[in-house]
Amino acid sequence: MKKSFYHYALTFRGGDWNDNKVRFAESMFIDHGFPKMSEDFQELSDYIEMQSDEYLTTEAFDSLWALYELKFQC
């Protein structure tokens, strides 16, 4: 069963703070407005672009999204 992007990205929490994917996951976790059930790239991308968080970056999102797609490709 495919996980939402949020649930996949949570697996990066607690890692090396030098990794921008880890910082993204930690920031995403404390953002109560993050679309937690979404599997839609555009919805998530639009949300991230509207936020002003130094760790919730489009660069980190793109890296995580690529890994998410690899993990759950059909």
Q: Could you report the per-residue pLDDT of 20-43, keeping only the tens digit for each?
A: 999 999 999 999 999 999 999 999
Cβ partners under 8 Å of residue 44, min gap 6 = 5, 35, 38, 61, 65
Q: Identify the pLDDT of residue 2.
A: 82
Phi, psi of 73 (to 5 degrees): -70, 150
Reading the block at residue 7, the tokens are: 């649930």
CB of 25 closer than 8 Å to CB of 63: no
As a whole number, mean pLDDT of residues 62-72 equals 95
Assess if CATH 1.10.150.260 describes domain 5-72.
yes
| This prediction's pTM | 0.91
As a whole number, mean pLDDT of residues 38-56 equals 94
Reading the block at residue 42, the tokens are: 């555009």
H-assigned helices in the chain: 5-9, 20-30, 41-50, 58-72
